[in-house]
Homo-oligomer: A and B are copies of this chain.
């Protein structure tokens, strides 16, 4: 059973999950090839039990959700806090699911049809609505690690859903920051970002009636990109089903441009949203952050909160929109 430990200085929670160290890694030096991919069509018996699926042609499936075989958190256990000396911990209670985005091993998200991408984002929202029925679950993190430098261990296109009994510290800091802004100016900071960026245009990399994709003003990472819904909404899982197509379109455009300018890019895609048990909020606005992990870029920033970015977001947007290859 994984354990959740609290850092006594920061108050940040860390999951200690030793069994997860045993998971296979296709990228690892010396990894044996020739193993069957557990996410490919025909290998369904290699995954833990299926939670959800969408039917595909010829009696097959086009998308599957399964339990993670090496979960960071597990269903059993209690959410009670236990103290040892000056330290606090609790059982690693929660859920860890994998969304297999396609039966096709080699098809990246941006290469999939808009409808298939819409299936993926609709599935994220559906699973979140289902998972939050368990009142012990306070936060549901939806994310995608794509490529070796982003920490992916399997090539086959997939995303992950981790449901946990508390909100991560940085999620709360983001929400608190937005609440401060709302108190001071009376508006949602993300609504203001949408307005500002749609007017300025020089950081816009994708746009349609419902969504805006931008390289944010204070980008921490070169080619960092955010996708924001234009209409205010605090909870991702409350996104109207009708908007899934528009989100898929902007996501496909954005990832497609990143793939042209930065071939073989590794990235982390993270859905930022409110804790699931909280009421709709006027000060917070769900959005997606895509954090490219360019090879050889210094990593210590991620542990210190001190960021140096060598590509301005204006230059990044210009490069992406011109379809120009970027050389680090």
Contacts and interface: CB of A to CB of B under 8 A. Distances in A.
A34 interface: no
Copies in the complex: 2
Interface string A52-91: 0000000000000000000010000000000001110000
Q: Interface residues of A: mostly helix, strand, loop or mixed?
A: mixed
A311 interface: yes
Contacts of A86: 189, 192-193, 196
A13 to B, nearest CB: 8
User: Contact residue range for chain A?
Assistant: 35 or more
A151 B12 contact: no
B17 A304 contact: no
8 contacts: A5-B217, A12-B307, A16-B219, A16-B313, A18-B315, A19-B310, A153-B296, A173-B305
Given A12-B220, A16-B219, 18 more contacts: A8-B217, A9-B174, A14-B307, A21-B328, A27-B296, A87-B196, A143-B300, A145-B299, A145-B300, A150-B300, A151-B296, A151-B298, A151-B299, A151-B300, A169-B305, A170-B305, A289-B303, A299-B299
Interface of A: 3, 5-21, 25, 27-29, 72, 85-87, 141, 143, 145, 148-153, 162, 168-171, 173-174, 177-178, 180-181, 189-190, 192-193, 196, 200, 216-222, 268, 270, 289, 291, 293, 295-313, 315, 328
